[in-house]
Each structure stands twice: as C-alpha cells, then as structure tokens.
Amino acid sequence: MFARRIAVIGTGYVGLTTGACLASLGHHVVCADIDPEKVDRLTRGEVDILEPGLPELVAENIAAGRLEFVLGARKAIVAPDEPAVEVVFLCVPTPMGDGGAADLRAVQAVANEVRHLLPAGCVVVNKSTVPVGTAETTRKMLGRRDVSVVSNPEFLREGTAVHDFLNPDRIVVGSDSQDAAERVAALYSKLGAPTQLTDAASAELVKYAANCFLAMKLSYVNALSELCERLGADVLEVTEGMGYDRRIGQTFLSPGPGWGGSCFPKDTHALLQIAEAAGMDFDLVGATLRTNTRTRERVVEKVRDAVGGSLTGKRIGLLGLTFKAGTDDLRDSPALAVAELLTAEGAELVGYDPACPTGVPGVTDGISVVDDPLAVAKDAVALVVLTEWPQFRALDWTALGGVIGSPVVIDTRNLLDPDVLRRAGFAWMGLGRS
Ligand code: UDX
C-alpha cells in the first residue's frame, strides 16, 4: 500500500504541500514544475513560501530519498530506471478567468503534455479547484481508456496547510471508477480520516459548496457587525451566543475588513458562473459577494469619519497587508482592497506588514511600505489594523502615540485590547462594537 511512486505536477501552495506530506506518509513522490529556478531551489530544500512546517518536511523527505523535484511533467512521469508512476496529481493554478469562470489552460496544457506518457492503469487526480465536469473533460482530453481520472479536492488553509493535510476533517475522492477512487483513498489511509467515495461531479462541487458556505458565513457576520453598531449591540457577544449552538459552531465568526485570499473570491465567482451556466440564479452567493464589497466600503466610511469627513491629503497608516495573519500572501487581500479605496479618495498611505518588509511592484503600488511600525505611525492621522497579526497587540503603543499625528486606531479585526490603547492615549474603534 505504501512506497508507491506518485507524480505531483505544479509546486505551488497545494502541490508542494501535497508532495511533501504524501512523501512523509511513506510514498515516493516526484514533484514537477515548469520554473527551472524554482526546481533548483526546491532541490536544495529551499522553500520560498511562508508555510509553517513545510521547509522542514521538504528537507526531511529529500534527505530520506522519498521526495524529488524535476523540471517539467514529462520527467516526473517517464523515469526508465524507476517503477512506473501509479498516481499523477494535477496541482496547477486554476485562476479566475474573464467573467469569473475558472481558467483551465494550465490543466489543459498538462493533460496535453502527459497524455501519451502515462503508463496503463495509472490514475490522474485533479487536486486543483476546477469546474464541475472537469474530471470528465480531462478524461476526454487524455483520450485514454486505460487511465482513470479522479477528483480529490484539497481543503488546505494557507498558514496551516501542513497541519490541515495531515489532520484532515475528511478526504473526498470522486470518480466513476470505484477502483481508481479506492487507490487514491488508500494513499491517505495512514491519516485515519473519514473518507467519502463519491462520483466525480459531486466531489468537484464539494469544494465550491464548502468555500462559498464559509464565505457566506463571513459575509453574514460582517453584515451583522454593521447592524450591531446601529443597534448598540456588541458583535463579539452576539457571535459567542450564536456559536454555542453546535449547528453553528464558534469558528469562522470573526468580523473583518471582508474576506479574501486565493480561494474564496475565485470560488464564489466561479460558483455563480457554474450555477448561471446551469440556468440557475444562485443569489445567496451573489449577496455574499455584494456584502463583501459593502464591508470594504464600510471600513473606508469609518476611516473617513474618524479623520474629520475627508480623506484628501490625509496620511493614513495601515497595519497589515496580507489577506490574513500567518501568510505572506497578498492575493486578493481585503487590506489591499481597502487601501485602493482609501487612495481613490486621496489618502496618502504608509503600510507595515511583518511578512512583507518591502513593497511589491504592481501589487502594493500606492502604499509606501516600510519595515517599522513606528514609521507607519509617524505623522499619520489614523492607524487602520487590517490583518490580525498577533504581534500588533504587543506593539509599544505608548511609543506609537508619541510619533503619531492624531492618536486614532480603526481596528477592523477587533484585535487590540481597547483598554491598553486608551491607556496609551488612543481613541480605539473596532467593528461591530459600541
Ligand atoms: C480557504 C479555506 O478555509 C480552505 O478550506 C480552502 O481550501 C482555501 O480557502 P484560506 O484562503 O487559506 O483557506 O483562508 P481562510 O483561513 O479560510 O480565510 C479566508 C479569509 O476569511 C481571510 O481573508 C480571513 O482573514 C477571513 N476570515 C476568516 C475572517 O474575516 N474571519 C474569520 O473568522 C475567518
């Protein structure tokens, strides 16, 4: 059952985590990427994404001879001196294309490249989030009756991806071939997780259904936080009370500046498209997206009100730029979305993020990124906390108060202790708290 030869195509967050974790379960994994420099770096054990535990896992498994990196899918599949590859994981990007639908060109390119190379009986696994029906499309593109296609969606959160892979809530494997599904499920058997074997279309839909539900939960909480402010209630008290209901649960109930990241925005837009193509207006998902836009605008309204009604020419300090704490990922970050709205109203922005010491051209344009929170506070008329980095709690708020132009904090993550801030002379404003 173990020590099976597996190929993983694509070494992004999902591919690298999948490859390293499968190797740690005892399988022999060959990871392929099209970027030669990345392959060289990974071969030396250098991991350039911020993912706790991943560098160690990569290094350990390279040293144990269970994990290797090669340039291009061909080399991962055709290795004359090795046992034939049994399972090929596709972990290539499926970004949001025009109109919100997933862009499948990378999946298509790999399928075209490997179709004649796959050994008979091998299983191709779609790990990337792909539209419902892609397993079937991939099967047709491969044009091989002796190769099965399986959908095995990942549910990894950035920043805890290794932990999530090794401690999954569930493993979902969908295929029209029971045997192929069982062979893929067996790769994870050491984890002892609940395993659902289903058809390919249902497995593909599980990922969208779960992510859009979570995004809806957050939009609900963010709208609720606005209502709390209007009614003089405290959203933290309300969500705590809601969360004791086991059907709801205490997690994923923290209001913020809107949700973002590499999955939720892409998956909500894609599910809307998928529903529309199936002749259905899935307006709950539409409302989830509209509420997210509104949440970002509401943050800007709060900042504008806090600085006297106009943002023009005002220097605003931003604490946090990544889409959540624990990652260096800026993709679809709500912090950057809020920054863009502030800039559009004429604010001058200076930002600090522990994971992004310098600006990234084309991504953080419009924000002067500094590597010192004091420099963010200097002469600013307000500080806006946008990412829930725990280290912001431990900042020397008295020192920040000494250099800031006007001691005002808008804490969109309800992260800081209001008493500490008040003692340091700051006016503190949270979200959904009176
Ligand atoms: C998500 C899913 O959780 C994961 O299962 C899927 O595979 C990929 O998408 P990720 O994008 O890494 O993972 O981030 P997640 O931790 O889910 O957070 C998404 C966004 O929601 C972030 O912007 C985060 O700040 C926000 N969020 C999360 C809140 O605003 N409040 C919360 O209570 C939780």
* Together in a domain, 333 and 393: yes
Classified as helix, coil or strand, 346 is: coil
259 C-beta closer than 6 A to ligand 1: yes
Q: Which two tokens stand for residue 28?
A: 């022999």
279: domain CATH number is 3.40.50.720
* Together in a domain, 307 and 231: yes
What domain range is 174 assigned to? 5-197
Classified as helix, coil or strand, 424 is: coil
More confident residue, 228 or 94: 228
Q: What one-character-per-residue DSSP string does 75-91 give? A: HHH--TTSPPP-EEEE-
CB 184 within 8 A of CB 122: no
* Together in a domain, 156 and 250: no
Last residue of a domain, one of 180, 197, 214: 197
Q: How far apart are the first and last CA of the chain?
A: 58
218 C-beta closer than 6 A to ligand 1: yes
In this prediction, residues 7-33 reach a mean pLDDT of 97
* Residue 263 appears among annotated catalytic residues: yes
Distance CA 172, CA 184 (A): 10
* Together in a domain, 292 and 395: yes
324 C-beta closer than 6 A to ligand 1: yes
Last residue of a domain, one of 197, 223, 239: 197
Pocket test for ligand 1, best of 163, 218, 288 (most atoms within 8 A of CB): 218
Distance CA 427, CA 336 (A): 24
* Together in a domain, 186 and 321: no
13 C-beta closer than 6 A to ligand 1: no
pLDDT digits (tens, 9 = 90+) for 310-355: 999 999 999 999 999 999 999 999 999 999 999 999 999 999 999 9
Ligand 1 centroid distance, CA of 311 (Å) = 30
* Together in a domain, 205 and 182: no
| pLDDT on residue 3 | 57
Sole residue written with tokens 């290797």: 68
100 closest CA partner among 24, 19, 193, 212: 212
Classified as helix, coil or strand, 274 is: helix
Percent share of the chain, pLDDT over 70: 99
Task: Give the number of other Cβ atoms within 10 Å of residue 326's Cβ.
Answer: 19
* Together in a domain, 58 and 124: yes
Distance CA 266, CA 279 (A): 20
Average pLDDT score over the chain: 95
Task: Give the number of other Cβ atoms within 10 Å of residue 420's Cβ.
Answer: 15
Ligand 1 centroid distance, CA of 78 (Å) = 37
Last residue of a domain, one of 175, 197, 219: 197
Phi/psi of residue 286, each to 5°? Answer: -60, -45
* Together in a domain, 114 and 238: no
* Together in a domain, 190 and 210: no
Ligand 1 centroid distance, CA of 104 (Å) = 23
158 C-beta closer than 6 A to ligand 1: yes
The number of distinct structural domains making up the chain is 2
* Together in a domain, 76 and 217: no
| Statement: residue 102 has pLDDT above 80 | no
| Statement: residue 4 has pLDDT above 80 | no
Pocket test for ligand 1, best of 263, 269, 336, 389 (most atoms within 8 A of CB): 263
Alpha carbon nearest to ligand 1 atom 28, residue: 252
| pLDDT on residue 2 | 44
397 C-beta closer than 6 A to ligand 1: no
* Together in a domain, 164 and 228: no
pLDDT digits (tens, 9 = 90+) for 224-266: 999 999 999 999 999 999 999 999 999 999 999 999 999 999 9
**List of residues 6+ apart from 334 with CB closer than 8 A:** 256, 257, 258, 259, 260, 295, 296, 323, 386
* Together in a domain, 158 and 207: no
- Calculated CA dihedral for residues 131, 133, 136, 137, nearest 10 degrees: -50
In this prediction, residues 188-198 reach a mean pLDDT of 97
Active-site option among 21, 122, 263, 356: 263
